[in-house]
Amino acid sequence: TETHVVRLAVDKAGETRFHDLLRGDIVIPNEAVDDQVLLKSDGMPTYHLANVVDDHLMGVSIIMRAEEWIPSVPKHVMLYAAFGWEPPVYAHVPLLRNADKSKISKRKNPTSLLWYREHGYLPEALINFLGLQGWSIKSDDEEFSLDEFVAKFDPADISVGGPVFDMTKLDWLNGEKIRKLSAEQLATRLASGGFAEGWSEAQLAEVLPLFQERLKRLDEFLPQSAYLRARPEPDYEGLAKKTKKADPGALAAALLESAALLEARSEASEDEREQALRAIAETHELKVGALFMGLRVAVTGATASPPLLPSVDAVGAVESAERIRAVAGQLTPAG
């Protein structure tokens, strides 16, 4: 038997009109519609036939999909008519765009939900962010829960302008969601997600107040907290830029005096120790910021870190003092 395919016989005269929930009436000339293959030579249905039959049998009433499917709607409308079925309501949403307005590509952009989970994005943040793509909650507040989204979502409110998939905004939103968690909840998220190797949940709950305000993603915890577990390599280049107006000898002397103070007065309050450190800076004719930057780089290794004195307490007064002395030794002029 000769093999053959079954095609959609399109009457090229006239036009196909359908209503789009977001775009109003759309008219496509039939001459622009090809005679689509419906059954392949092996008897298997193609997408267009299977899609229409499956949606009808499942009782689908609204089809919401990307705008790039608009040219295919006439084929589907013709098939619904051929079967004598009532077609569903169509709503074609705009494609997500990069910041430069180019189309998001699977080859160039992370489009898998697993990627976002592996990089420490919270499910509630991603749901919130995706909900904002072409839609808003009609208030100044860009944060909402899934329940709020379900209660207030109306497809008619979707904008057909190309929404920008802004990773910077996603990071901001994810950080806001992180800060709404309790320390115990955040510890559980970090531990269960594999973002806190080597830390127990109890240990995490103790140190998270240092980092919760700074985290944008869960995968930032281990890099940010590394100085608590091992002596870091100080960012001497960054320190030099931040303290270029300070005399290295005076800074080294002030660091040594600060190390002794922090070691001897580890039980004093943060305020008492801060005032004492300010007095040391004044004694050595240094700006307070220069001394604190030296201490920060010594204790945490970086010019930007969690608060200084809580970091000293987390590292331990003795270890912190040793780190400070090591940095002071590098700043002391030779000879």
Would you please indicate which residues are annotated as catalytic (active-site) residues?
Answer: 106
The gap between the terminal CA atoms of the chain, to the nearest Å, is: 99
Which token pair is 2?
Answer: 């000769």
d(CA 107, CA 97): 14
Residue 192 tokens read as 């269960």
DSSP character for 90? E
Distance CA 301, CA 234 (A): 4
Instruction: Tell me how far apart the alpha carbons of residues 68 and 66 are, in angstroms, rounded to a whole number.
Output: 5
Is the CB of residue 79 less than 8 Å from the CB of residue 52?
Answer: yes
* Token pair listed for 333: 């002029």
Q: Which residues contact 185 (CB under 8 A, 6 or more apart)?
A: none
- CB–CB of 330/279 below 8 Å? no
